[in-house]
Amino acid sequence: MSYLRPNIAKMRAYVPGEQPKVASLIKLNTNENPYPPSHKVAAGLYAAIGDGHPLRLYPDPVCSGLRAKLAEIHGFLPEQIIVGNGSDELLTLALRAFVGEGQRVAYAMPSYSLYPVLCDIQGARKVELEMNPDFTLPAQLFRERAALKFVTSPNAPSGVAVPTAALDRLCAASDGVVLIDEAYIDFADDNALRLVDKHRNALVVRTMSKSFSLAGLRVGFAFGHRALIAGLMKVKDSYNVNRLSEAAALAVLNDADYFRACIACVKATRDRLRAALIALGFSVFPSAANFLCARPPGRLTAKKLYETLRARKILVRWWNDPRVRSHVRISIGTDDETDKLLAAIREILAEAT
Ligand SMILES: Cc1ncc(COP(=O)(O)O)c(C=O)c1O
């Protein structure tokens, strides 16, 4: 006999990318930023700790300071913004607020593998479509009736961005909420924020884990119509974002120059790595994110490449899933890490032929 709800008993848990504690590992498997956050973070954290007394007190339940800052930067009202304990929490809240048990949630795969897991937890009905081979959205996604649709743009694991015009049409064609997961958008050239004031059902979700280098502090935020945001606010934990995370988030937002410089570095390295891999015979999706999805040439399989790199202390991501098994996903590292990665790949290719 199980004490679990039947859907929890039979579901599969999400498997996060590995976080090994191996010295001198080149870690290119979970799309973290290779550069540290702005040095202003340390000062912000010390100020938030003060003489220790602030830590006795609960944090601001609605993150007023951070919402006001995000509102100012992006031209919204604070009531159009919610902050979460990472964007993963905001995805959970969306299921909780918008999807009743048995209601439909539609998305195209391959995409972020957390979506089906969250549907299973909620007891929602998954409508899982196939992404077009070039990672454009399948026509069926526009036709589906669903309480919630997920779209990742740029897509993970391919890195391919969904044109904002397509997202605009998707919002117009959908009767439920369209959640646009923009975890990697700061590495792209366009974004979907302009859809928020146009469509009452558009919810744009972002994270500070990638472009802002704050994965360890867990901060995500979302923009939407005030009615959507009010619903999400109702179902969140009272104190979902801790004091130190809010202080660090404000500090990185106050150092826009450093942020822009980091993004420029990552994009330049991404474009250099893509060109080098293509020159070596790889096929690589055009990426608007901080990672590349690449298929090795000739007889070298993606699995073998992943394993051989791993033995050389370079960790990339590979999924034993028929839809993406032929590719590895490589997070963009520093220039030095990228040089070491390329040198290792050249050797592996030479051994494979
Ligand atoms: C597409 C996508 N959405 C959301 C997240 C979660 O980010 P966070 O660290 O803010 O929870 C990730 C993390 O890898 C992701 O790839």
Q: What value does the mean pLDDT take over residues 325-334?
A: 97
- Put the strands of the sheet holding 291-295 in their side by side order: 283-284, 291-295, 328-331
Give the predicted TM-score (pTM) of the model. Answer: 0.97
Asked if 288 contacts 154 with a C-beta cutoff of 8 angstroms, the reply is yes
For ligand 1, pick from 89, 112, 151 the residue to mutate: most ligand atoms within 8 Å of CB.
112
List residues bridging with 317 in a β-sheet.
Answer: 329
CA of 279 relative to ligand 1 center, distance in Å:
31
Asked if 321 contacts 293 with a C-beta cutoff of 8 angstroms, the reply is no
Q: What value does the mean pLDDT take over residues 250-259?
A: 97
Asked if 211 contacts 291 with a C-beta cutoff of 8 angstroms, the reply is no
**pLDDT of 353:** 73
Q: How far is CA 317 from CA 19, 158, 289, 352, in A?
A: 12, 12, 15, 20
Q: Looking at residue 317, what DSSP letter applies?
A: B
Instruction: Locate the ligand 1 atom nearest the alpha carbon of residue 207 and give its number.
Output: 10
Consecutive H or E run containing 47: helix 40-49
Residue type for 174, please? Answer: S
pLDDT digits (tens, 9 = 90+) for 220-232: 999 999 999 999 9
Query: How far is residue 297's CA from residue 282's CA, in Å, rounded to a whole number?
Result: 5
**pLDDT of 270:** 98
**pLDDT of 18:** 82
pLDDT digits (tens, 9 = 90+) for 8-47: 999 999 988 888 888 889 999 999 999 999 999 999 999 9
In the numeric block, which tokens belong to residue 309? Answer: 């790199």
